[in-house]
Structures are given as C-alpha cells and as structure tokens.
C-alpha cells in the first residue's frame, strides 16, 4: 500500500469507489499484505461477504476459488502476470469489477502492457487519482465508475474522512497528456 500522509485516503478510495460503482456487490475479494484497513472500510457495507487473501501468492489463492464467485476484487499489488489475470477473470462474475494498484502513470510501457492484458477481460479500464498523485486502476465488465455511480449508497455512508460522491467523480478526471499517452488503451 502506498505510504500516504493521510493513511485513510487509500483504503477509502479503493473500497468505496468500487463498492459505490457496482450495482449489487455481495462477494468481495481483498488481496493484500495489509487487508485490515480495507476490511475496516468494507465493514460499512451490510450483506457482503469479504474474503481476504495474501497478494504474495495471488495465483495460488485464485486457483482454489470457484468460477464466477466474486463481484468485486480489490488487489493491493501491481500484478501484470497474464496467468494471474486469467484466473482472476475466471473467478469474477459477469458484471464484476476490480480495483488494483498499478505502475505510476508515467511508466507508459508497463501500464500499456497491463491495460492491454486487462482489455481481454474488461470493457472499462480507467485509472483514478489519489491525493498524493498516485493512481489506482478500476477495471469493470459492466459498470462505469462515473456514469453508474450509486449516489444514494455513497451519500448514505457515514464516517468517511476523505471519500464522497464528488471526490469519486473528480478522481477520474485525467489531464490531456495522460489521455494522449493512453489513447486507445484506457477504455471509458
């Protein structure tokens, strides 16, 4: 997890952007070396089942999961291994989405490779900003993170220090040079 001056930003943005985009999440997979902050934020949602696994052996952990059993996956690691991403796709439901760490947007080559692999599985692939200048990557089979934002869910959540529906939408604004660098790669 990136070191942030305000450590609540990363888990709030990883969890709530995905949970307020998916229409009806029930099963959430958290792959992290430090899942407690993410699990804490997931505790704000009723009627979900969350499963925490280590991001160290993601391939091994995914092999044991049933096909089409996960609505939302949160992966707190950069992983562009095509076998891992194929297994991730296998366990995701048809309308699932994933939020994951990825290389800095300045690393165009690494991001292009990752986004091209993800393009085999997802209709929508969009990076979004955090306050420290880093980004996360949202990949969705069905839901668009700004067009399908569930305002009622995001507005009714309480106790946030950073996340709200305005921050959710604003996080997806990209400068023109990023748009040019990733033309045809980012899918929105």
Give the CA-trace dihedral at 44, 169, 123, 106, to 10 degrees.
Answer: -110
What is the overall mean pLDDT for the chain?
A: 93
pTM given for the model: 0.94
- Better-predicted residue by pLDDT, 86 or 64: 86
**What's the CA gap between 19 and 153, in Å, rounded?**
9
Helix (H) or strand (E) holding 78: none
11-49 as b/e: b if 16+ CB within 10 A: bbbbbbbbbbbbeebebbbbbbeebebbbebbebbeeee
pLDDT, average across residues 114-130: 96
The pLDDT of residue 132 is 83
Residue 137, φ and ψ in degrees, nearest 5 = -120, 120
96-115 as b/e: b if 16+ CB within 10 A: bbbbbbbbebeeeeebbebb
Q: Which domains does the chain have, with CATH numbers?
A: 9-181 (3.40.50.150)
pLDDT tens, residue by residue, 133-176: 889 999 999 999 999 999 999 988 888 999 999 999 999 999 99
3-state secondary structure 36-76: HHHHHHHCCCCCCEEEEECCCCHHHHHHCCCCCCEEEEEEC
The pLDDT of residue 110 is 94
The pLDDT of residue 157 is 86
Query: What DSSP state is assigned to residue 6?
Result: S
In the predicted structure, residue 1 carries a pLDDT above the cut 70: no
pLDDT, average across residues 13-23: 98
Asked if 96 and 71 touch (Cβ cutoff 8 Å), the reply is yes
């Amino acid at each position: 997890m990136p070191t942030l001056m305000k450590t609540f930003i990363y888990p709030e943005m990883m969890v709530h952007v995905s949970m307020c985009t998916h229409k009806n999440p029930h099963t959430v997979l958290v792959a992290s070396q430090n899942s407690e902050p993410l699990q804490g934020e997931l505790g704000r949602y009723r009627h979900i089942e969350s499963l925490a696994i280590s991001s160290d052996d993601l391939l091994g952990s995914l092999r044991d999961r049933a096909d089409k059993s996960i609505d939302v996956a949160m992966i707190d690691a950069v992983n562009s291994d095509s076998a891992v991403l194929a297994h991730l796709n296998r366990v995701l439901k048809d309308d699932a989405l994933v939020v994951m760490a990825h290389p800095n947007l300045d690393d165009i080559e690494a991001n292009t490779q990752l986004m091209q692999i993800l393009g085999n599985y997802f209709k929508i692939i969009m990076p979004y900003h955090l306050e420290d200048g880093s980004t996360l990557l949202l990949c969705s089979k069905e839901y668009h993170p700004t067009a399908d934002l569930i305002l009622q869910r995001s507005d009714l959540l309480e106790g946030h220090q950073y996340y709200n529906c305005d921050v959710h939408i604003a996080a997806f604004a990209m400068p023109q040079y990023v748009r040019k660098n990733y033309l045809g790669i980012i899918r929105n």
